[in-house]
Amino acid sequence: MKQILKIEHIEKYYGNKGNITKAIDDISFEVQNGEFIAIMGASGSGKTTLLNCISTIDTVSAGHIFLDNADITEIMEKELARFRRENLGFIFQDFNLLDTLTISENIAMALTINKVPVEEIDPRVKKMAEKLDIVPILDKFPYQVSGGQKQRCACARAMINSPKLILADEPTGALDSHSAQMLLTTIQTMNQEFDATILMVTHDAFTASYAKRILFLKDGHIFTEIIRGEQSRKQLFGKILDVMTLLGGDLSDVR
């Protein structure tokens, strides 16, 4: 399998000389093409910082990040926007859809930014909408559809450019449990059927249980890793809960 993302000893500090906070403390891991990886951890464990660094919204203090063998920590500021739109797809907790555009226009927007030939745009939007089951709402505005539908639209937008990596930040955070379950199924389909590489940040065990591999962060470094392998989702869920209990602290912490 081809390696798509390689993170090498990255560190990220905040603050100044006398008072340094290490948000990421020497993290290294690799992601293969077609993987669905979840990053879990409590608040302040560094998972959002990690995601921001990978998505080039933030810069690292030390270390390297390679996406498809290109070192994204070395890309010039000016090139970053182009790099982002060509290689990455985003799914956010609060959807980040444009309220002035219809669902189909929101999806098309991602294509026009990448200067895709005009005649390809409508067919591609239609095809993607069919896959994600949002054809009936294509001409509606975001305020006219449900949260789950909005997030599926966001998925379609993230997917439509066939990016090398899809970054999802708490995608189920603003959804009720039913919608969350439907969305996760969608993401799973995206991963399995279209071979999309997905990196998802979450603190919810149920959400994480849909992934193939789960990294646990604690205080800026990798605490442990679970690989689903042949286990069922239920078994994986159990394991995640076990790790989370451990993460919460051992007996010595509650002395």
Residues that bind another protein (CB under 8 A): 57, 78, 81-86, 88, 90, 92, 96-101, 105, 108-113, 115-116, 118-119, 121-122, 141-143, 157
Q: Closest approach of Cβ 125 to another protein, in Å?
A: 10
- State which residue, 84 or 213, has the beta carbon closest to another protein: 84
Q: How far is the CB of 87 from another protein (least distance, A)?
A: 9
Give the residue carrying structure tokens 């669905």.
Answer: 36
- Distance between CA 227 and CA 230 in Å, rounded? 9
Q: Which is nearer to another protein, 23 or 240 (CB)?
A: 23
Min separation Cβ 130 and another protein, Å? 20
Q: 126 vs 239, which CB is nearer to another protein?
A: 126
CB nearer another protein, residue 90 or residue 210: 90
Nearest distance in Å: CB 49, another protein? 16
Q: Residue 40: beta bridge partners?
A: 202, 216
C-alpha to C-alpha distances, 215 to 218, 219, 225, 255, nearest whole angstrom: 10, 13, 5, 28
Beta bridge pairs of residue 222: 217
Token pair 């093409």 is found at 33
- Contact yes or no for 163/192 (Cβ under 8 A): no
Q: Nearer Cβ to another protein, position 18 or 117?
A: 117
Q: Name the residue among 86, 88, 59, 56 with its Cα closest to residue 168.
A: 88
Rounded least distance, CB 115 to another protein, Å:
7
Report the nearest approach of another protein to the CB of residue 209 (Å): 27
CA distance 123 to 127: 6
Residue 55's beta-bridge partner residues?
A: none
Instruction: Please say which residue, 111 or 222, places its beta carbon nearer to another protein.
Output: 111
185-192 CB contacts, 8 Å cutoff, 24+ apart: 185/210, 186/132, 186/133, 186/152, 186/155, 187/36, 187/91, 187/155, 188/36, 189/131, 190/155, 190/159, 190/166, 191/34, 191/36
Cβ-based nearer residue to another protein, 94 or 242? 94
CB of 63 to another protein, least distance (A): 23
**Residue-wise DSSP of 197-223:** -EEEEES-HHHHTTSSEEEEEETTEEE
| H helix or E strand, kind and range, residue 232 | none
